Amino acid sequence: MIYDYIIIGGGIAGSVCAYELGKRGQQCIILEKNSQQSEKVCGGGVSYKALKKLQEIGISVEPLLEVDSKLIKGHVIYKNKTYIENIYNGGKRSLGIQRNLFDKYLLDKAEQKNVHIKYGEKVTCVCKRDNIYNINGFFAKEVVWASGARSVQDKLLREQSIGISGQICAKSNLADDIFHYWYFDEHNVEKYFWAFPIGDNLWNVGIWSRNYDKELKRSYNESVNEYFLSKVIGNWEYLRKPKAEFLGHYDQRNDGLYMKEGIGDFAGCCNPVNGGGIHYAIKSAVKYAIFQLELNNKYRTREQVRRILKH
Ligand SMILES: Cc1cc2nc3c(=O)[nH]c(=O)nc-3n(C[C@H](O)[C@H](O)[C@H](O)COP(=O)(O)OP(=O)(O)OC[C@H]3O[C@@H](n4cnc5c(N)ncnc54)[C@H](O)[C@@H]3O)c2cc1C
């Protein structure tokens, strides 16, 4: 079988892109290196903008409220321990959720649009002959990289930033409908510790720094004690131990020979100021699908499509 698209990576960008293409009758397959149950290292903070974008493309967010997740009304900023600002988003609500639940929901939506999904398929090379791609024995006319911030060659991408995140089961004195952010330095907004609810008595805690910081692990350990565990009532335990991961601040589309088309973290679509990338992953996937279909359906050149989409 020759698919229209092979999509490499079944994270947010990959599943939304496949959903959008599948919706319009394209035959897609997603190749995902991990197993179905694996949890991505992430905060799991899905902004109201991201939720709105999903609704716009026909993905209802209501069922996500029925799994173990939390609606979040706004965010609180602290400078060190001092409370600075409480920002309500005018009734717009975001979501705290475990990434495996969120990703599974999006992959299910793609499957409902006849997208095939293969797990345990790590892509390390792409072959092309007579205009057909052959990836791990699957064939397609086009290939889209949606493999996230980690380099395909597993080389260190110095331009990326790194965050650490873990999930803690605990009852806390912190308000459980708010994103809590602690900034370390008045003048540096590019490093912060967070804690927010992603389920009943379940919290995502983590730290992010835009710039290389060899003390990040130590900062995480100190911050989790000082800002989060000091507010815990009774016992607590890690559901998922803290792990470090890259964030997508570097566009990998021009690395290597065939990596021309990419979305999400792979294409550097991530907020440079706070590291949030879920909304950008959805946006870039939708944009890519629309671009491709304009290009294919109406026999337009790339330049013409770019101009049309600008207006
Ligand atoms: C610690 C941390 C906390 C974060 N917190 C937030 C947050 O609270 N809110 C927010 O908006 N953003 C957050 N982000 C950013 C967010 O996680 C990313 O922007 C988002 O996941 C990007 O989606 P994606 O689909 O591009 O990549 P990913 O979600 O990383 O998906 C890529 C997929 O590709 C697969 N893959 C990778 N390589 C291959 C390969 N070679 N072959 C096959 N499959 C492959 C991976 O297994 C993965 O499933 C955080 C990031 C980090 C690291």
> What is the per-residue pLDDT across 125-178, written as a single tens digit (0 to 9) for each?
899 999 999 999 999 999 999 999 998 877 778 789 999 999 999 999 999 999
Q: Are strands 28-32 and 116-119 parallel, antiparallel or unpaired?
A: parallel
Is the Cβ atom of 12 under 6 angstroms away from ligand 1?
yes
The answer, yes or no, to whether any atom of ligand 1 lies below 6 A from the CB of 276, is: yes
Task: With CA atoms as reference, report the closest residue to 231 among 289, 185, 172.
Answer: 172
The alpha carbon of 76 and the centre of ligand 1 are apart by a number of angstroms equal to 25
Please tell me the predicted confidence (pLDDT) of residue 299: 62
Q: Model confidence over 64-103: pLDDT tens digits?
A: 999 999 999 999 999 877 888 888 878 899 999 999 999 9
Q: If you count DSSP H runs as helices and E runs as strands, how many of each does the chain have, helices first?
A: 7, 16
What pLDDT, on a 0 to 100 scale, did the predictor assign at position 309?
A: 63
Specify the number of domains making up the chain. Answer: 2
Q: Which residue has the tokens 């791609």?
A: 133
Q: For ligand 1, is residue 268 a contact (CB within 6 Å)?
A: no
User: CB of 277 closer than 6 A to ligand 1?
Assistant: yes
Kindly report the CATH number assigned to the domain that includes residue 57: 3.30.9.100
Q: Is 96 in the pocket of ligand 1 (CB under 6 A)?
A: no
Distances (CA, A) of 230 to 181, 210, 216: 15, 26, 20
Which of 191, 224, 246 is at the close of a domain?
Answer: 246
Residue with CA closest to ligand 1 atom 38: 147
Residues 137 and 202 in one domain: no
CATH number at residue 260: 3.50.50.60
Q: How far is the CA of 33 from the centre of ligand 1 (A)?
A: 13
Q: Is 182 in contact with 80 (CB distance < 8 Å)?
A: yes
Distance in angstroms (rounded) separating the CA atoms of residues 221 and 206: 10
261 and 300 together in one domain: yes
- 268 vs 17, 52, 156, 247, CA distance in Å? 16, 22, 15, 9
Q: What is the CA radius of gyration of the chain?
A: 20
For residue 107 the two structure tokens come to: 């992959």
Whether 181 and 257 share a structural domain: no
Please give the angle made by the CA atoms of 147, 189 and 233, to the nearest 5 degrees: 85
Domain match, 130 and 148 both:
yes
Q: Which among 228, 246, 264 is the end of a domain? A: 246
204 CA → ligand 1 middle, Å: 16
Mean pLDDT of 10-31: 97
Q: Does residue 178 share a domain with residue 111? A: no
Minimum CA distance residue for ligand 1 atom 17: 42
Same domain, 116 and 82: no
Tens digits of residue pLDDT in 244-283? 999 999 999 988 756 678 999 999 999 988 899 999 999 9
Is the beta carbon of 264 within 6 A of some atom in ligand 1?
yes
- Domain final residue, candidates 220, 246, 272: 246
Same domain, 103 and 176: no
The finding on whether 195 has its CB within 6 A of some atom of ligand 1 is no
Q: What is the pLDDT of residues 178-202, one digit of tens each?
A: 999 999 887 778 899 999 999 999 9
Q: Is 148 in the pocket of ligand 1 (CB under 6 A)?
A: yes
Both 200 and 265 in a single domain?
no
Quick one: tokens of 72?
């979040």
Q: 28 and 112: one domain? A: yes
Distance 78 CA to ligand 1 centre (A): 27
Please tell me the residue having the least CA distance from ligand 1 atom 21: 278
In 3-state terms the chain splits into helix, strand, coil percentages (rounded to 5) of: 30, 35, 35
Range(s) of the domain holding residue 21: 1-44+99-160+248-311
Helix (H, G, I), strand (E, B) or coil at 166: strand
- Residue 104 clears pLDDT 70, i.e. is over it: yes
